[in-house]
Structure 1
Amino acid sequence: MWKEFKAFALKGNVLDLAIGVIIGAAFGKIVTSLVNDLLMPVIGLLVGGIDLNDLQFKYGDAVLKYGAFLQTVIDFFIVSFSIFLFIKGLGKLKRKGEAKEEAKPDAPPPPSKEELLLAEIRDLLKQRQTD
């Protein structure tokens, strides 16, 4: 069972997934900081200094913090749009790299041993005919 688990855990797909999750978490922190520290203060100024996190509705002892929910929804859309742009940019770079590879003229492969031997035989036959 340990060998099977080790084979599964060391497969390329599992390692790629783990790396993707780690990079995604770090990228999510960057975008969250962008939203919280740069975008939301500007949006707050544009709408008159309203902080969405402070918006709430009280009914008796119950408190509905709809502002925090709206903030989370806005964060989600900004993070998902940022990731979309990042992936789109990577795709564009990848296609550009593939286009460069396709544009390169391929050198003909070197002749095989049989082709070299046949060329040598041809040259010897030509030489005999001229002698």
Structure 2
Amino acid sequence: MKTRLEKLIISLNFTEAKALVDSLNKVELENYLLDLCYESENIIYYSFVFDMLKSKETSFIHYIASIILSQPLCHIEGAYQAAFYHAKKAVELDEDDIELKEYLLFFNDIPDKLLSNQEAKTLAKEIINLNPKSEVAKQYI
């Protein structure tokens, strides 16, 4: 499956690639795309995810775009800023998703510190109010 997806994306056959990923669950999609990005460090996978966003904007697809840019493609100039944008959009689209909010805290730890200490503390308090057991959020309070 991963090899077929890779061939479709590399050949810019995004329509068939999207049809293929429709049969995957969220974990599979995230794992396949991250694996492909780590293996090749090719920005075409971000282009594919961006194309998916144009078809249907969801918090999960914004998350995937963010994770691709902030991890395997983080060495590209501006990748963290673009990843931060997608992470904020993901939270905006699904304000009840605590895991997305916890992920947003990551942007306080990177060298660029795109999420200020004050913003991280405020967000962490919000997360704690929703989930008092959040170990991630407790680190920022």
Q: Identify, as 1 or 2, the structure richer in strand.
A: 1
Q: Identify, as 1 or 2, the structure richer in helix.
A: 1
TM over 0.5: no
Report the TM-score range of the alignment, normalised by the length of the smaller protein: under 0.3
TM-score (norm 2): 0.21
TM-score (norm 1): 0.23
